[in-house]
Structure 1
Amino acid sequence: MIFMNLAKISANGQITVPVEIRRLLGLKSGDKILFFQKQDGEIVVSNASSQAIRKAQSAFAGAAEAMGVTSEDDIQALVDEVRYGKER
């Protein structure tokens, strides 16, 4: 489904994001939105929190495998090591 909505810019440069767009982006009061320009010139609006999570997921991709973490027990062992200084 494609949405098209208009938003009026106030004298201070503020806009109200239409409710349908807020729902699609999962935005709530106090959230930040990210505006970025793609190489083709298109401007994209995104939920900044979601963007940050995707970027972090990408940065950590493969880290568990590299550390030999393959199960919940391995994760618990890492947590114990950090909390209590116990080796895996």
Structure 2
Amino acid sequence: MELAKVTSKGQITIPLMIRNRLQLKTGDKVFFEESKGKIYITNASQITLANVQSQMQGEAEKAGFQTEDDVIAYIKELRKAK
């Protein structure tokens, strides 16, 4: 467990152990979520990535891609077309 002090402007310093655990770097944004009376802090980029992955679930198969090599070949074709 870690302890942080709130400044008069409502700011805190996230302890190093927590920053490392969340893979936070200077300039990163954090996401606060309340659930069942508890507050959770998450690296916002991880939330975004999880949302994109969820939305893209099954799209490769719908587009006819069977393997990662199919996707790589398609990207190479797109790059040649430019």
1:54-65 aligned within 5 A: 54-65=50-61
Runs of 5+ consecutive residues of structure 2 not aligned to the other structure? none
Render the CA deviation track for 1:23-58: whole Å, top value 9, x for unaligned.
1100011111110112x1221100001111011111
Instruction: Name the structure 2 match of 1:71.
Output: 67
User: Structure 2 length as normaliser, TM-score?
Assistant: 0.85
Report whether the alignment pairs 1:23 with 2:7.
Answer: no
In the TM superposition, residue 19 of structure 1 has moved relative to its aligned partner by 0.4
Could you say what secondary structure the match of 2:75 adopts?
helix
TM (norm. structure 1) is: 0.80
* CA RMSD between the two structures: 1.5
Q: Provide, for residues 48-82 of structure 1, a one-character-per-residue CA deviation record: whole Å limited to 9, x for no partner.
A: 01111011111111111111111244213432453
Q: After TM superposition, where is structure 1 displaced by more than 6 Å over at least 4 residues in a row?
A: none
Q: What SS does the corresponding residue of 1:10 show, helix, strand or coil?
A: coil
Q: How many residues align?
A: 81
Give the percent of matched residue pairs that are identical in Structure 1 and Structure 2.
43
